[in-house]
């Protein structure tokens, strides 16, 4: 399993510093129609956009179903309570709920309270990978480790950029006893210092149908 790969190549981050998660998949590139949908939900507070995004997240999850044996916990990347209060929702949780409705045939259970964000963090826009890791260190915890010990986890979010947030969450989940941590996102971004860690994506040509939100 090569978690940081695109077109058969391993990115420099994986060669130098392997992530704590085991594998990552995204539906498509963070551009064009897909980027517009993410912005509608995340920055313009249009909750109905969660429906098409959730369906695309389901596609990313299903691409990894050969990994599944037994029940898997689906854990949305959490927001700090202050950010959630301001935004009114956690976009990762909204799209995860839609995705699970599309994936009823798979052994998945939504677990939005297993992982919590313990402190607010600065916006990571424009940060390098190392700056993101520093910003996120110590920002997550698992209050009840018994809920995670020996379990397999799918961590879900809207966009994977450098993978720093997913990596820190996976580190905390594994420290709490999680066996495997997979990462599924709607989109993956291409960064200035390399390709963000996603292995399976679709062209955004497949996302450009008219979507009513």
What CATH number did the domain enclosing 54 receive? Answer: 3.40.50.2020
128 found inside a domain: yes
The pLDDT value recorded for residue 201 is 46
197 found inside a domain: yes
Nearest to 115 by CA among 186, 42, 166: 166
9 found inside a domain: no
Nearest-angstrom CA–CA distance, 205 and 213:
19
| Percent residues over pLDDT 70 in the chain | 78
Q: How many structural domains is the chain composed of?
A: 1
- Count the Cβ atoms, other than its own, within 10 Å of residue 10: 15
3 found inside a domain: no
146 found inside a domain: yes
- Tokens 């971004």 correspond to 189
pLDDT tens profile 172-193: 999 999 999 999 999 998 654 5
Residues in contact with 110: Cβ distance below 8 Å, sequence separation at least 6, in sequence order: 74, 76, 96, 97, 100
212 found inside a domain: no
133 found inside a domain: yes
79 found inside a domain: yes
pTM of the complete model: 0.82
Q: Which domain holds residue 25?
A: 21-205
Least confident of 12-26, 76-90, 189-203: 189-203
Q: How confident is the model at residue 16 (pLDDT cuts 50, 70, 90)?
A: low
């Amino acid at each position: 399993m090569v978690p940081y790969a695109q077109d058969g190549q391993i990115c420099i981050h994986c060669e130098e510093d392997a992530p704590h998660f085991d594998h990552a998949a995204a539906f498509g590139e963070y551009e064009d129609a897909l980027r517009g949908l993410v912005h509608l939900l995340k920055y313009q507070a249009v909750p109905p956009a969660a429906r098409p995004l959730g369906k695309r997240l389901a596609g990313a999850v299903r691409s990894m179903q050969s990994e599944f044996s037994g029940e898997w916990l689906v854990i949305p990347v959490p927001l700090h309570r202050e950010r959630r209060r301001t935004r009114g929702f956690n976009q990762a949780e909204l799209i995860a709920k839609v995705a699970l409705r599309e994936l009823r045939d798979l052994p998945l259970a939504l677990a939005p309270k297993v992982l919590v964000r313990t402190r607010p963090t600065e916006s990571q826009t424009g940060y390098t990978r190392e700056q993101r890791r520093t910003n996120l260190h110590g920002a997550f915890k698992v209050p009840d480790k018994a809920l995670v010990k020996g379990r397999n986890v799918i961590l879900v979010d809207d966009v994977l950029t450098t993978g720093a947030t997913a990596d820190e969450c996976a580190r905390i989940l594994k420290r709490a006893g999680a066996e495997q941590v997979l990462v599924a996102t709607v989109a993956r971004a291409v960064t200035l210092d390399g390709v963000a860690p996603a292995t399976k994506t679709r062209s955004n040509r497949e996302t450009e149908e008219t979507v009513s939100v």
